[in-house]
Chain A
Amino acid sequence: MDDFQYHAPSSVDGVLSALRGADDGKVLAGGMSLLPVMKLAMAAPSDLVSLRNVPGLSDIEDHGHCLKIGACCTHAQVAASSVVRERIPALAAMAGRIGDPQVRNRGTIGGSVAHNDPAADYPAACVGLGATIITDRRKISSDDFFGAMFETPLEEDELVTAVCFPIPDRAAYAKFENPASKYAVAGVMVAEDSDGVRVAVTGAGAGVFRVAEMEAALADDFSADAVAGIGVSSDGLLSDNVAGAEYRAHLVTVMAKRAVEACG
């Protein structure tokens, strides 16, 4: 790994000015995605700006209609939070199945959404639950935030500070995981609220996507049978040594059925 300048400022403003002063600065949160990439020499930032000394980014607040989760909340913290478990149990369960305990002890929600790995779980949770990504300067809806793999509308010097999740009437996440890494081979979040049903898929494609046909069918009849006959096209789905595109397409329907069943 190439060396870099390390900064650990103690405010959001300090983070932003360190990023602006760097040639190619990157935020460091839990490091569970960034450091592996740097160890493999697939990234070599000039500066790393750690969030470890910035206060106030690890709170979980219940705002009645939504939960606001600070960017530096770890996956372990979200999984164990009594508020999240009570208000959006599907989200706590999803966080508790990310990677392994050591990944969950360090990895953060802010890092996960900013990284937008096509096999990560949070993108499906955010899009499925209709979350809003909050940064130091604006609010971005999940539908607009998650682009193709690793792409987001974040500026080079923009910091995710929190993610707000509306409280669904019911929701569940089902994932078929890679047995070694636990990343999603196909993961589906299904959620229903007064606006309708959302179905978001991660792991299968080049980025998280919604399945409109399933959403319409579930709005009509919220049952596993309603999605059992709906397939997604394998065109453009990922294909690798774990699963081919057609198998991934098959898994999307199976995971959608399981998620609907788990909604109760």
Chain B
Amino acid sequence: MPAVTMKVNGVSRSAEVEGRTLLVDFLREKLALTGTHVGCDTSQCGACVVHVNGQSVKSCTCLAVDADGAEVTTIEGLANGADLHPMQEAFREHHGLQCGFCTPGMVMSAIDLVNNNPDPGEADVRQWLDGNFCRCTGYHNIVKSVLAGASAMGGGS
């Protein structure tokens, strides 16, 4: 079996995986980082979004072996101890979640938006979240949260 090594949330992690092991399964099953979710089998819902080398990607549609040597950040890597990341705090403050299933992917995607566009407008946020589905909120408070999170981040993480 191929061995992979990647830096996950700042810590170097190695494991043997099958070629077919998806990055999301490596994170959830090998590393017990279950904050990254799987909500579909068609690569459409975005519950699995993590950052690979600073870019948001769907970890359900990426082989673990293809991420060998990469730096990966998951939702678990955002907070600083008890201090939430400003984007997480904005989701809490503005009720940007109900059941919370989509939330890790939403937050990871939103941070990538702000890294690309430090001062997004509402239309930018709605368009950017094309790949993140929420079955609960109707998106309104998610958009509010992302806008608030973007200004709290003050132009990138």
Return chain A residues, CB-CB under 8 Å to B49: 102
Interface string of A71-113 (1 = CB under 8 A from B): 0000010000000000000000000000111110110000000
A27 to B50, CA, bound (A): 24
For residue A227, give the distance in angstroms from its CB to the closest CB of chain B: 28
| Candidates B41, B68, B131; contact of A101 at CB < 8 Å | B131
Q: How many residues of B contact A (CB 8 A)?
A: 29
| Candidates A4, A6, A36, A102; contact of B131 at CB < 8 Å | A102
Q: Interface centre among B22, B109, B130, by most A CB within 10 Å?
A: B130
A39 at the interface (CB under 8 A from B): yes
A242 at the interface (CB under 8 A from B): no
Query: Are the CB atoms of A35 and B61 closer together than 8 Å?
Result: yes
A181 to B66, CA, bound (A): 24
Q: Interface centre among B42, B63, B112, by most A CB within 10 Å?
A: B63
Q: Interface centre among A1, A35, A102, by most B CB within 10 Å?
A: A102
Return chain A residues, CB-CB under 8 Å to B68: 8
Return chain B residues, CB-CB under 8 Å to A50: 63, 65-66
Query: Are the CB atoms of B44 and A101 closer together than 8 Å?
Result: no
A3 at the interface (CB under 8 A from B): yes
A52 at the interface (CB under 8 A from B): yes
Return chain B residues, CB-CB under 8 Å to A8: 65-66, 68
Query: In A34-63, which residues have CB < 8 Å from any B CB?
Result: 35-36, 38-40, 48, 50, 52
Closest residue on chain A to residue B58 by CB atoms: A102
B2 at the interface (CB under 8 A from A): yes
Query: Are the CB atoms of B19 and A6 closer together than 8 Å?
Result: yes
Q: How large is the interface on A (under 10, 10 to 19, 20 to 34, 35 or more residues)?
A: 20 to 34
For residue A258, give the distance in angstroms from its CB to the closest CB of chain B: 18
Return chain B residues, CB-CB under 8 Å to A195: none
The verdict on A3 contacting B20 (CB below 8 Å), with A101-B113, A181-B44 known, is yes
Query: In B39-64, which residues have CB < 8 Å from any A CB?
Result: 41-44, 46, 49, 55-58, 60-63
Return chain A residues, CB-CB under 8 Å to B93: none
Query: Are the CB atoms of B130 and A182 closer together than 8 Å?
Result: yes
A105 to B18, CA, bound (A): 24
Query: Are the CB atoms of B18 and A3 closer together than 8 Å?
Result: yes
19 contacts between A and B (CB under 8 A): A3-B18, A4-B20, A6-B65, A8-B65, A31-B61, A31-B62, A31-B66, A35-B61, A35-B62, A36-B43, A36-B61, A39-B60, A40-B42, A101-B56, A101-B113, A101-B130, A102-B58, A103-B131, A181-B44
Return the 5 tightest CB-CB contacts between A and B, nearest first.
Answer: A100-B131, A6-B19, A100-B130, A105-B55, A36-B43
* Other A-B pairs, 20, CB within 8 Å; known A99-B131, A100-B130: A1-B20, A4-B19, A5-B19, A6-B2, A6-B65, A8-B68, A28-B63, A31-B61, A31-B62, A35-B22, A35-B62, A50-B66, A76-B55, A99-B130, A100-B132, A101-B56, A101-B128, A102-B109, A105-B55, A181-B44
